[in-house]
Amino acid sequence: MQKNAEKRVENMRQEAVSPEKEACCTLRHDEITAADLPLSCPPRDNRVWDGHPRVYLPIEATGRYRCPYCGAEYILKDFIPV
């Protein structure tokens, strides 16, 4: 019985790092454009539903913003300070 439990745990580990699966809430660095605004994390086109609540990030003011939940950093390309 112990071996079955160990095997299940190992399978879960392998699934978690599988390249086919999209990792949830991993630190990342994304460059976005004005077409991607308003910016949300997770992004609108991201299927991740179990990472954290979708939040809208006010990147327009500074050109750079870090998600308070997962730490993903977003940089607005061609940002011109006002």
The range of the structural domain enclosing residue 74 comes to: 25-82
Q: How far is residue 15 CA from its own chain's centroid?
A: 18
* Residue 9 covered by a domain: no
Residue 76 pairs in a beta bridge with 32
Residue bearing tokens 């913003």:
65
> What does the block give as tokens for 57?
């990030």
The count of domains in the chain is 1
* Residue 57 covered by a domain: yes
Asked if 69 contacts 26 with a C-beta cutoff of 8 angstroms, the reply is no
Asked if 21 contacts 15 with a C-beta cutoff of 8 angstroms, the reply is yes
Per-10-residue mean pLDDT for the chain, 82 residues long? Answer: 65 51 65 92 73 90 93 92 78
Predicted pLDDT at 28: 83
